[in-house]
Amino acid sequence: MSNPFENDNASYVVVRNDELQHSLWPATNPVPAGWTVVHGPDGRQACLDHVERVWTDMRPASLVAALTGDAPRG
């Protein structure tokens, strides 16, 4: 049974929510509410590489704001 998140031949996107959390998402599925495509469609590994590059602070944006008083970064 093919797994929708583990198919190296399928096409994926990287999506991000308002907390700046990043996720892999199958390109053929509609993007759920509250998420924006920030990369892709692309291969699985390329999408994961992108995530690794850009999602450097894994704390939710609202928590960062609460801890530092900073506005969330995009």
Partner 1 sequence: MNHPQSTPAAPAAAPAARSLVEDVLPLSPLQDGILFHALFDEEERDVYVAQLLLDLDGPLDADRLRAAADTVLERHANLRAGFLRRATGEPAQVVQRGVRAPWQEVDLSGLGESERTAAVDTLLAEDRATRFDLARPPLLRFTLVRTGPLSHRLLLTYHHIVMDGWSWPVLVRELLALHAADDAPLGPVTPYSAFLSRLHSRDTAAAQDAWTRALDGLPGGTRTAPVSPPPGSVLPHRVETYLPESLTERLGALARGHRITSGTLLQGAWAVLLGRQIRSEDVVFGAVVSGRDPELPGVADIVGLCINTVPVRVRIDPAESLVALFERLQDEQARLIDHHHLGLVEIQRLAGAGELFDSCVAFQNYPIDAAGLAALGAGGLQVTAVDPHDAAHYPLSLTAIPGDRLRLQIDYRPDVFERDTAQALIERLARLLEAVAADPSCPVGTVDLLSPAERHRVLVEWNDTARDEEYAEVVERVRRQAGRRPDAVATTDDTGRELSYTDLVARADALALALLADGVRPGDLVAVLSEPTARVPVAMLGILGAGAAYVPLDPEGPVTRTADLLASGGIARLLAAPEQRARAEEIAAAVPGGLPVLVIDDAAAAAPGERPAPAGGPDALAYVCFTSGSTGKPKGAMVHRRGMNNHLLAKVEDLGLGDGDRVVMNAPLTFDISVWQVLAPLITGGQVHLVTRDTARDPAALFDDAARRGITVLETVPSFVRAAVDLWDTGVLPPALPELRWFIVNGEVLPPELCTRWYARHPQAAIVNAYGLTECSDDNTHAFIGPDVHAQLEHGRLPVGRPLRNNSLYLLDAALAPVPPGVPGELFIGGTGVGPGYLRDPRRSSERYVPDPFSAVPGSRMYRTGDLARMRADGQLDFLGRQDHQVKVRGNRIELGEVETALRAVPGVGEAVVAVDRDHAGQQRLVGYFTGTPTAEEVRTELGRSLPNYMVPSLFLHLPQFPLTVNGKLDRKALPDPGTVHRPAGRLPATPAEKTVCEIFASVLGLQEAGMDDDFFAHGGHSLLATRLTGRIGTELGVRLGIRDLFETPTPAGIAARLAEATAAPARPALRPRSRDQA
Instruction: Write down the H helix ranges in 1-74.
Output: 44-54, 61-68
Q: Is 56 helix (H, G, I), strand (E, B) or coil?
A: coil
Sheet holding 36-42, edge to edge: 22-26, 12-16, 36-42
Closest separation in Å from C-beta 71 to partner 1: 16
Residue 27 interacts with partner 1 (CB under 8 A): yes or no: no
Q: Which listed residue (35, 38, 41, 43) binds partner 1 by CB under 8 A?
A: 35
Residue 38 interacts with partner 1 (CB under 8 A): yes or no: no
Binding positions for partner 1, rule: CB under 8 A:
1-6, 14-15, 17-19, 21-26, 29-35, 48, 51-52, 55-56, 58-60, 62-63, 66-67
